[in-house]
Amino acid sequence: MTFPVIGLVVALFLLAIGVQLLRSWCRDRDDPADDSDELLDHLRDLRLEGDLSEEEFRSIKSRFDSQTKTE
């Protein structure tokens, strides 16, 4: 009776490790440029909502653009 339970626990543990490795592998394949685009979109939304001034947006965007050019 204990062997099937131990086997099930080991199988679930191995499955969890496999899922974690698969998720990690998929995240590594994401393009960092996509994150950059999402960040800029979010900053534009903040500007349009009035939470970020035009001057702040330009300042952040220019720093962001200079960082992405050097990479």
How much of the chain is helix, strand and coil, in % rounded to 5?
Answer: 85, 0, 15
Evaluate if pTM is beyond 0.85. Answer: no
Q: What is the CA radius of gyration of the chain?
A: 22
Q: What is the pLDDT of residue 70?
A: 61
Identity of residue 62: S
Structure tokens at 37: 């685009």
- Taking a C-beta distance cutoff of 8 angstroms, is the pair 58, 52 a contact? no
Q: What is the pLDDT of residue 33?
A: 54
Q: What is the pLDDT of residues 35-56, one digit of tens each?
A: 677 888 888 888 898 888 888 8
- Taking a C-beta distance cutoff of 8 angstroms, is the pair 46, 29 a contact? no
Identity of residue 16: A
